[in-house]
Structure 1
Amino acid sequence: MSRGGQHIKRDDPERRCIATGEVQPKAGLIRFVVGPDNVIVPDVMEKLPGRGIWVAADRAALETAIKKRLFARGAKQAVTVPDDLFAQVEAALVRRLVEGISLARKAGLAVAGYEKVKSWLMGGGADVLIQASDGSERGKSKLRLPSDTSAFIGCLSAEELGLAFGREHVIHGALAAGGLTRRVVEDAAKLTGVRKMGGGKASGKGVKTT
């Protein structure tokens, strides 16, 4: 089982991280490409044209790739790495994760609010528990994951989670099983890796299984 509770299939595409040298499934990596004027651009959607340059979704790996100028080696040419590349990556991952949860909500696969989430958890309808990273620890501790195969997402702030549910702030959320849920869990694992060190909002509690 991979980070975030996703089962890895043997035929899942794999790529090599330019920072760690390790080969792993794409679900745990972030793709970059060389954009206009030879500027490195993050491609979290994995749709931009050009040769893909892959870095593990991990703060330390990204910092290593930037500091040691490994993007040029991966691109096999001179490139420009923006000063705010790390911030670009984080912002892009937040947008994608918020969008994924929002789509799940519109499909009836996500709910928000303490009572609704509690009902889903008790009734077996929840496969993933989502809680804001800046929510009250006492309040969050009252809700439990439904099973040992369930995932927990805690890398979004209450404001960011609120965007996914069309509210100002959200502390508690839940996802039912479904195709969108796998994407959300994988995206949350990437954001957790990026935010997990040095003051990241996830505070080390982003995506995990019980």
Structure 2
Amino acid sequence: MSRGGRRRERSEPERRCIATGEVRPAREMLRFVVSPAGELVPDVAGKLPGRGIWVSARREALERALARGLFHRAARMRVALPADLAERVEAALARRLIDTLALARKAGAAVAGHDKTLGWLESGRAAVLVQAADGSPRERERLARRARHIPRIGLLNAAEIGLAFGRERVIHAALAAGGLAERAVEEAARLGGFRVSQDRGEDHPAGSPRDRRQTDVEET
């Protein structure tokens, strides 16, 4: 603690992307490690043992690192690069977001379904709106109009959101303010580098290349 009893803010760790050279907070990037078998492994949770290799959480940055052999250079050895590495990263990031939603549900900090989500939006309890990318555009827009002031996540499909709530499909969900809502927004931002949001009626299917001038976690 600093003088006066105030807790001193810890500086957030930053890492440099091997593909772009940009330096960003580690939580916004992707960590990779080399397995004992010599294969490159995505470590989206940042907990695997070994020396970390960092890449910006964008598909094009990962593809650049692969095309230019930058992982071999960073690892100082030849490493096995899975042909479906980008797809593995996307799947792992989607799983992280789903797990975060599930934790929020178990903590009583999330609701699912049109009526409950609408109720949270009207009462001001909703801090994040989550909507399925494959839901009806008209129905999504009706609720989105009530959530202009909060982040909106439109990256997961109905079956994926359903996994978080123990249902077959979920189109609409809301998160209450708190650490899990903040984590969901952060995880969605990373997933947004690999999967296109349908939140604003974009024509691109989920997972297609995206225009980096757009954002998949909106806050207006």
Normalised to the residue count of structure 2, the TM-score between the two structures is: 0.85
- Deviating above 6 A after TM superposition, structure 1's stretches of 4 or more consecutive aligned residues are none
What's the counterpart of residue 63 of structure 2? 63
Whether the 8 Å CA contact 1:192–1:202 is kept in 2: the answer is: no
User: Take 1:145 and 1:201, find their aligned partners in 2: how far apart are those partners?
Assistant: 27
What's the C-alpha RMSD, in Å, of the aligned pairs? 2.0
Distance 1:199 1:140, change over 3 A: closer
SS in 2 for 1:79: coil
What's the counterpart of residue 3 of structure 1? none
What's the counterpart of residue 108 of structure 1? 108
Q: Percent identity?
A: 55
Mapped pair 1:40 → 2:40: yes
User: Take 2:28 and 2:146, find their aligned partners in 1: how far apart are those partners?
Assistant: 23
> What pairs up with 1:115-134 in 2 under 5 angstroms?
115-134=115-134
Normalised to the residue count of structure 1, the TM-score between the two structures is: 0.89
SS in 2 for 1:41: strand
> What pairs up with 1:21-170 in 2 under 5 angstroms?
21-143=21-143, 144-146=145-147, 148=149, 150-170=150-170
Whether the 8 Å CA contact 1:104–1:175 is kept in 2: the answer is: yes
Q: Which amino acid aligns with 2:59?
A: R
SS in 2 for 1:32: strand
Mapped pair 1:180 → 2:180: yes
Whether the 8 Å CA contact 1:59–1:196 is kept in 2: the answer is: no
Q: How many residues align?
A: 201
Q: Point out where structure 2 has 5 or more consecutive residues left out of the alignment.
A: 1-8, 198-203
Q: Point out where structure 1 has 5 or more consecutive residues left out of the alignment.
A: 1-8
What are the Cα deviations for residues 32-72 of structure 1, in whole angstroms up to 9, with x where unaligned?
Answer: 00112211000011000111111111111111111212111
User: Take 1:18 and 1:88, find their aligned partners in 2: how far apart are those partners?
Assistant: 19
